[in-house]
Amino acid sequence: MIVPGNNVRLSTRDSREFEGTILPDTNNEKIVIKLQSGYNIGIKKTKIESIKQLPKQMKKAIKKEKIKYNKNLPTVSIIHTGGTIASEVDYDSGAVIARFTPEELMGMFPELKKIANINSFLLSNMWSEDMRFSHYNLMAKAVKKEADKGADGVIITHGTDTMAYTAAALSFALEGLNIPVLIVGAQRSSDRGSSDAFMNLLCAVNYIAKSNFCDVGICLHETSDDKSCLILPATKTKKTHTSRRDAFRPFNAEPIARVYPDGRYENISKHATRQDKKDSKIKVKPFRENIKVAILKAHPNLYATELDNYSKFDGLIIEGTGLGHIAINEIDKHTGENKKIYNSVKSLAKKMPVFMTSQCNNGRINMNVYSTGRKIKESGVIGDHNDMLTETAFIKMAWLLSNYPKPMVHKLMMENLRGEISPRSLEKEFHFFNNNQ
């Protein structure tokens, strides 16, 4: 009876009942079932009073629609890298079955055929946490291929964990981008009643089909309800919550646009329209897969050996405290290590670009306010007055080191190439979400 795929009614010793499908689980002390709501629950066997097997549920077959090209609609290519957007649960095994072909996608989401001609395919199954620079190159080349074939826009479905890194990577790797590229994911899997998968995809297709946006962006829920999605800037956005549907936020920047499920949209940022790029030619400037760039997070009780570990790397991002600080001052008998830290920073800065960001999401680096910052700057660390996110700085440095000589990397890290450094800091950008929730 306790067999994956069986439908059961489970009664516990405290008089609660649960109905659902038994899922595979390696823990012999509990039983995991998928409830009709789509959520999973694990119950210890010692707390179970009885299990009654129920009739097997019949799975609804997805109707595969024959795709008809509509010359009056734009063409959107959907490149899948895995994730939950185009998947359903196999209740016999508890596994997720991917649905990637245009016919399958239209069967799941028939609303899309009224908005655009959909070309959909699997590039490769890539868990976002496992991605390396080589995966960014695969995606960039796939985007160029679809654009060269005449696609009016591209959507990349992607896991949310490192989505912001990928958005920044594609923003740099795709030079002369002349179509919109939106990265879309889901915080809740498609088998849950609270899934955000379809609405995120629907809003992305609508925005590509109806707007003049011509850049890389991210499309995800604006709030935890289903009222709207935001188009977010590729180099200014990060994931801020592990599970909420509105987990992604831009920093030191506004969202690009707000999109509603019915197809309406409101441009928010001046970067929403990039018509000047329409006649440009896309060129892929890839990442060198063996480039080594590290991120060091400044923290109390830091040791110089933590920096020395990166002596054979090509570049280093220091995520400093506040305005861009790291412990370098020997102020009493307890801080002798700090002098060693300063010497390590100075030594690394002679070998490679060392760039400073802040652990604060908003605001700018300013290494001129305190003597600590001035000393760090004198050691060769760059980054003064920038407001880049650590994730973006990491991606940018790796891309620059892949395509330019080191002396130019120092210079270009301080130039705004893809909207990663704000020309000025605006109060409304900091307060946008507080004022709109």
pTM (predicted TM-score): 0.84
CB neighbourhood size of 353 (10 A): 25
Mean pLDDT of 263-280: 74
Summarised one tens digit per residue, pLDDT across range 7-62 is 889 899 998 999 888 877 666 788 888 777 666 788 888 999 999 988 876 555 55
Q: Which amino acid is at 389?
A: L
Q: Which fold has domain 293-412?
A: Rossmann fold (3.40.50)
DSSP string, 323-344: TTB------STT-HHHHHHHHH
Q: 271 Cβ partners below 8 Å, 6+ apart?
A: 215, 233, 256, 419
Using the Cα atoms of residue 145, residue 231, residue 184 and residue 424 in order, give the sign of their dihedral. positive
- Assess contact for 368 and 384: CB atoms under 8 A: yes
Using the Cα atoms of residue 113, residue 114, residue 117 and residue 119 in order, give the sign of their dihedral. negative
Which CATH number is 75-284's, of 3.40.50.720, 3.30.565.10, 3.40.50.1170, 3.40.50.300? Answer: 3.40.50.1170
Tell me the two tokens of residue 293: 């760039």
- How confident is the model at residue 38, as a pLDDT? 63
- How confident is the model at residue 125, as a pLDDT? 79
7-54 and 293-412 agree in CATH topology = no
- How confident is the model at residue 141, as a pLDDT? 98
- Using DSSP's 3-state secondary structure scheme, residue 148 falls into helix
Give which of 252, 256, 254, 237 is closest to 362, Cα–Cα.
Answer: 252
Nearest-angstrom CA–CA distance, 44 and 404: 58
Mean of the per-residue pLDDT values of the chain: 87
CATH class given for the domain over 7-54: mainly beta
Nearest-angstrom CA–CA distance, 264 and 266: 7
Query: Residue 314 pLDDT > 70, yes or no?
Result: yes
Confidence of residue 147 (pLDDT cuts 50, 70, 90): very high
Query: Residue 193 pLDDT > 50, yes or no?
Result: no
First to last CA, the chain: 48
**In the chain, where the domains are located:** 7-54, 75-284, 293-412
Tell me the two tokens of residue 60: 């609804």
Nearest-angstrom CA–CA distance, 7 and 3: 9
Give which of 121, 196, 126, 200 is closest to 161, Cα–Cα.
Answer: 126
CA diameter of the chain: 77
Q: What is the DSSP letter of 410?
A: H
Q: Which amino acid is at 212?
A: N
E strand intervals along 25-179: 30-35, 40-44, 48-54, 75-80, 87-89, 96-98, 117-122, 153-157, 174-175
- How confident is the model at residue 272, as a pLDDT? 64
More confident of the two residues 192 and 374: 374
Q: Report H helices in 220-273.
A: none
Q: What percent of the chain has pLDDT over 70?
A: 83
Q: Which residues are catalytic?
A: 84, 160-161, 239
Nearest-angstrom CA–CA distance, 259 and 269: 13
Residue with tokens 């929730």: 437
